[in-house]
Amino acid sequence: MDEKYNFPDKMKMASFALMGIGLLSLIIGFIVSPNRTWADLLVNNIFFLGIALCGVFFIAANYLANAGWYVAIKRIPEAMISYIPIPAVIMILIGVGAGTHLHHIYHWADSKAVAADELLQGKEPYLNITWFMIRMAIYFAGWLGFAFILRKLSRQEDIAPDTKYYKQSLIYSAAFIVFFAVTSSMCSWDWIMSIDAHWYSTLFGWYMFASMFVSSLTAMALIVVILKRQGYLPKVNFGHIHDLGKYVFAFSIFWTYLWFSQFILIWYANIPEETIYYVHRLEHYKFWFFFTPFLNFLMPFLILMTRNAKRNYNTLIFVGGVVLFGHWLDFYLMIYPGVAGHHDHWNPGLLELGTLLGFIGAFAFVVFTALTKANLMPKNHPYLEESLHHQT
Amino acid sequence: MEKDKKYLLGIFEDEDKLMEAVHYVRQNEYEMFDVRTPFPVHGLDDVMGMKRSRIPVAGFLCGITGTAVAFGGMTWINTVSWSINVGGKPFFSVPTFIPITFELTVLFAAFGMVGVFLYANGLFPGKEPLILDERTTDDKFLIAFDLNNEHIISKQKEITDLLTKYGATEINEKVIED
């Protein structure tokens, strides 16, 4: 069964237009308010990196769980993986920017600030720009390596029917999960938690992972729905769509659990060095702060609760849009207040919207182009037959 | 005095044949009393045209009751009935209520659904089970028709032929004495 995706010209043009808007917003932003635009770049970059990266996690976790149902939609996370090199480049730019003082996202990168700050001196062995860049290189090397090996094995399996590809994928998946468990946590400390360099939360890695994974699942569900709407993936039935809906539902609750756990422990203990994070957000970003759980918890929880809602393309598209925006806002609230400091308060504006649209365009362009590179339905995967008969 | 209950049973040895027979029984619009199998047969619900269970609705309502009980209860206890100052926190502290509200929501939903399930299916300790054929607990499948139903009695011949045609190995009548 050969089925190749054909990227429609209309969509291509739309994604170029979005990229144009994004580029324009970035240029205007860098002229008007460079520091804020660097933060904007960081928010979008990490958000879309998470979406792409958790595609690898999704594949690896399903390999290890011996899952069969997902094989019919396996090519979508595989296409999402193709986006990882772009955030890698932008992240290196942000790192170089921090090292050369082009921006002040990372307070600890400023040697004058460190000299006057005893706490930062204590953290210097970890939070210094050289070690920061080395760690970044390790993360991206590992993620890209595993991602492309898993994708390559999957495509080789299409050509030659042999279970050795499946067995190799299992081993790489297991290794990736171990690597990802450590690096997903560490990258959240490095790139986000260190913005508020005095503050720390032991839950932060998990919290960011939850945000990344649920965004990734939502993006996957949306891409499957778009492909179905365009008439592709005839073998993907409502069982698969339903299961993706369940994933979005369940991990929205998981995100809420971690969001709330982090908040309640800090609120309860009431230690000033910890509460400062929430004081800052509740004083100046109150609306956005309470708007996130509304978008990320209440909306998917109430709308996706019934079976029919998870099987309906329109509700999935609506909730998907809401959840993706909500998690973008979540990253916004993790990053912006810390970068703005205690004197400025940056509420999301038109330039932020423009950059977000630009990143959506770039992501869509890369992913849908990657979809054209391989068959939409894997061949010869040992669980393919099981997946085609999937029912829920 | 009530009449004894009489059932027409078509016994099958294979679930695929059973499914096919059920399909044709429904196509001819003969009303089935029940289908019994020794193990869950995938897709049988759809072929029999069973309506989806409404147990999720019961679960949702029970869950909401749990939410209301927990939240309302804690609010009343902490603000009206027995206010205790814990670490200088306000008496009405929503964050502290959330974990317990969550727990009671789950508890009420779970127990509520079990209770509703047992009630809806008439299951309770000491209930006399309606055994149509003991072999359906081992390796046989059966389709049962209610022989107190006028329509079924009038069509008994056709039903028997149809069941035999689609692979029934035996056709029995079972009388359950009242």
Which residues are CB-contacts of B26 (< 8 A; sequence separation ≥ 6)? B32, B47, B48, B49
Q: Is A267 on the interface with B (CB under 8 A)?
A: yes
For domain B5-52+128-176, the CATH class is: alpha beta
What is the predicted pLDDT for the residue at B150? 86
Write out residues 19-58 of B within 8 Å (CB-CB) of A: 42-43, 52, 56
DSSP state of A375: B
Q: Is B94 on the interface with A (CB under 8 A)?
A: no
Q: Is the pLDDT of residue A170 over 90?
A: yes
Which residues are CB-contacts of B64 (< 8 A; sequence separation ≥ 6)? B105
For the CA atoms of A99, A100, A101, A105, what is the dihedral angle to 10 degrees? Answer: -40
Q: Is A305 on the interface with B (CB under 8 A)?
A: yes
- A386, A19 Cβ separation under 8 angstroms: no
CB contact under 8 Å between B52 and A307, yes or no, is yes
Q: Tell me the pairing of strands B34-36 and B141-146.
A: antiparallel
What is the predicted pLDDT for the residue at B141? 93
Supply the ipTM of this predicted assembly: 0.81
Query: How many Å apart are CA A139 and CA A95, to the nearest integer?
Result: 13
pLDDT in tens, A178-208: 999 999 999 999 999 999 999 999 999 999 9
What is the predicted pLDDT for the residue at B178? 67
CB contact under 8 Å between A268 and B95, yes or no, is yes
Please give the structure tokens belonging to residue B74: 């804690």
Q: How many CB pairs under 8 A join A and B?
A: 19
What is the predicted pLDDT for the residue at A1? 55
- B157, B111 Cβ separation under 8 angstroms: no
Residue A270, by phi and psi: left (phi above 0), alpha (psi -120 to 50) or beta? left
A 10 A CB-CB count for A221 gives 26
**How many helices (H) and strands (E) in chain B?**
6, 4
Instruction: Give the pLDDT band (50/70/90) at residue B1.
Output: very low
What is the predicted pLDDT for the residue at B2? 59
Query: How many Å apart are CA A59 and CA A383, to the nearest integer?
Result: 13
The torsion angles phi and psi of B30, rounded to 5 degrees, stand at: -90, 135
In chain B, which residues have their Cβ closer than 8 Å to the Cβ of A263? 95
Helix (H) or strand (E) holding B175: strand B170-176
Q: Is the pLDDT of residue A344 over 90?
A: no
Task: Report helix, strand or coil for A78.
Answer: helix
The structural domains of chain B, with segments of one domain joined by +, span 5-52+128-176, 55-120
Chain A CA closest to residue B90: A268
CB contact under 8 Å between A264 and B99, yes or no, is yes
What is the predicted pLDDT for the residue at B87? 84
Query: How many Å apart are CA A104 and CA A39, to the nearest integer?
Result: 9
Chain A CA closest to residue B87: A268
- A352, A332 Cβ separation under 8 angstroms: yes
Give the CA distances from residue B88 to residues A15, A186, A259, B83, in Å, rounded to whole numbers and listed in that order: 54, 36, 24, 12
- Looking at chain A, the whole-number percentage of residues with pLDDT higher than 70 is 99
Query: How many Å apart are CA A289 and CA B121, to the nearest integer?
Result: 46
Q: Is A290 on the interface with B (CB under 8 A)?
A: no
Query: How many Å apart are CA A44 and CA A41, to the nearest integer?
Result: 5
pTM: 0.90
- Looking at chain B, the whole-number percentage of residues with pLDDT higher than 70 is 98
pLDDT in tens, A14-64: 999 999 999 999 999 999 999 999 999 999 999 999 999 999 999 999 999
Helix (H) or strand (E) holding B34: strand B34-36
Chain A CA closest to residue B52: A307
pLDDT in tens, A148-159: 999 999 999 999
In chain B, which residues have their Cβ closer than 8 Å to the Cβ of A270? 87
Please report where in the chains the tokens 């679960």 appear, as a residue.
B59
**B48-66 mean pLDDT:** 92
